Amino acid sequence: MGARVNVVFEPSHEAQDRCLGKFSLHSFDTDGNPITADLNFDFFPLWEFSQDTTSVYFDILLLGQVVYSTDRILNRLTFSDDSWCRNIDLLNVPVVNAAIFNQHSDELNTALSYLTGDNWNITFVQMPQIAYAPEIEHHYHTDEYECVSLFSGGLDSLIGFVDKASTLQEGKKVLLVSHYDMGKESMDQERIFHSCATNEFFDGKYTSIKAKIGMKNCIKERKVKYENTFRSRSFLFFAMGLYCAQSISETQEVIVPENGTISINIPLCKSKRSSCSTRTTHPVSMKLIMRALESVGIRNPLVNPYRFKSKADMMIDCAQDENKKHILEVLSPLSCSCAKRSHNRWWDQDGAYIHANQIHHCGMCMPCIYRRVAMHAIGLDDPAELGTDIFHGTRYFDINNLQRKTSLDINMLLRFIRKINRPAVENELLAEGIDENELDIYVDVVMHSYQQIKDWISLQADDNIKRKAGIL
């Protein structure tokens, strides 16, 4: 089974139009019904900083938003033979430098295939001439910026921001680049920035650029069920950061703040092996993406300074400075790392409490568990900020009921840490493509990360949970 998606671009003929034009995706479902999706590409905030519509960086940005949207309209259950791996022919992606991109499409296909767990086959066409010169609202001085950092609104990106803001040279700033599709992501980011605006620690130290890239509508005879794994989002994020970074310098690095535990994302059970584990910032993904970027002429490096640290390590290191610790106490509750925040009907806390206290962490998914361990490391773990406390389930959560979806992640984790051993971790990482020269240090990261989780469970959990984790 495969999916053919054709990209159609109708350029705007008005130079003052804030929109480049109309991008749309055209495909068919498995019954032959047409699917048409119009893309919502708010290019203006990014263009205002870079003012580039001719380079390969601009082309990568175009590719990023098309890939992200294509990924979203092709539900894995529908468009795959095994409910996971899709064969995607993405046709006629408009770029300015079509000859270069068609010449190096293999490198791009390889990188995206590893990242998303699919088989991509992309072809490019020459982009029609565009007229784009809207009135500038913000005048940026690129020489003011010391670094570019991706900012999702999660805890890792927040720590990355705080760390960089504390080490800036006099008169320099951090450029924070954010993507949002749905309103919840935007609200996370805005809550943090609103708080930063009243804190003198951040005064004059950052600029935020936030762009909405998603879909306006999706037309089909029957309602389309969007894919919600978001495996290609990191590629879009990278493209946005690089597009801005090149305006500062051809060698300006883009910081990708993500803890090593999530980056490696070792499968916790057999069903999560290979592509079924998220590879958004996996070392192999990063290597393949950078190789593809270099092939089309992009030299700015993507750098993850936290790749050898757990989330708890990031918190501990950041909190060594009392000023930064105080900032984390204020801002970390505003960040969100939850993978299942929209599933609040199955949280133990009732709806009124969730709404009144602005609860946006389920407390049960793996990102929430990693976050709790990190918050605990500096004394900020507060079950009242969660939809469900896995140690004291009341309504929908029952750790002893293996049939309940709400308890799957924690039980999977407990089985994993009960059996974890260094040789098994080595074999898993080698199977995922980790370079043998880096194997030992990544094994250390995994063993250290899950020992921190085990220590946390030992302090917080009852005897039943401890037995499941192999502690008793």
Q: What is the pLDDT of residues 211-261, one digit of tens each?
A: 999 988 777 766 678 888 889 999 999 999 999 999 999 999 999 999 999
pLDDT of the residue at 294 = 98
The DSSP annotation for 181-226 comes to: SSHHHHHHHHHHHHHHTT-GGGTTSEEEEEEEEEEEEEE-SS----
Q: What is the pLDDT of residues 148-161, one digit of tens each?
A: 999 999 999 999 99
Residue 201 has pLDDT above 70, yes or no: yes
pLDDT of the residue at 430 = 94
Q: What is the pLDDT of residues 65-96, one digit of tens each?
A: 999 999 999 999 999 988 889 999 999 999 99
In angstroms, the CA 67 to CA 93 distance is 9
In a domain, 239, yes or no: no
What is residue 119's DSSP assignment? Answer: E
Could you give the number of structural domains in the chain? 1
Q: Among residues of the chain, what percentage have pLDDT more than 70? A: 97
In a domain, 356, yes or no: yes
pLDDT of the residue at 221 = 64
Q: What is the pLDDT of residues 245-255, one digit of tens each?
A: 999 999 999 99
In a domain, 175, yes or no: no
In a domain, 324, yes or no: no
Q: What is the pLDDT of residues 440-472, one digit of tens each?
A: 999 999 999 999 999 999 999 999 999 999 998
Residue type, 20: L
**pTM of the prediction?**
0.95
In angstroms, the CA 417 to CA 372 distance is 17
Q: Order the strands of the 21-28 sheet from edge to edge.
A: 119-126, 87-95, 2-11, 21-28, 34-41, 206-219, 173-180, 145-150, 254-255, 302-303
In a domain, 289, yes or no: no
Mean pLDDT of all residues in 16-30: 92
Bigger pLDDT: 106 or 472? 106
* Residue 357 structural domain: 337-468
Residue 11 has pLDDT above 70, yes or no: yes
What is the total residue count of the chain? 472
Report the alpha-carbon angle 8-9-10, nearest 5: 125
Residue 103 has pLDDT above 60, yes or no: yes
In a domain, 90, yes or no: no
In a domain, 396, yes or no: yes
Give CA torsion, residues 297, 302, 308, 313, to 10 deg. 180
Mean pLDDT of all residues in 383-406: 85
Lowest mean pLDDT among 17-31, 58-72, 149-163: 17-31
In a domain, 360, yes or no: yes
Q: What is the pLDDT of residues 275-308, one digit of tens each?
A: 446 899 999 999 999 999 999 999 999 999 999 9
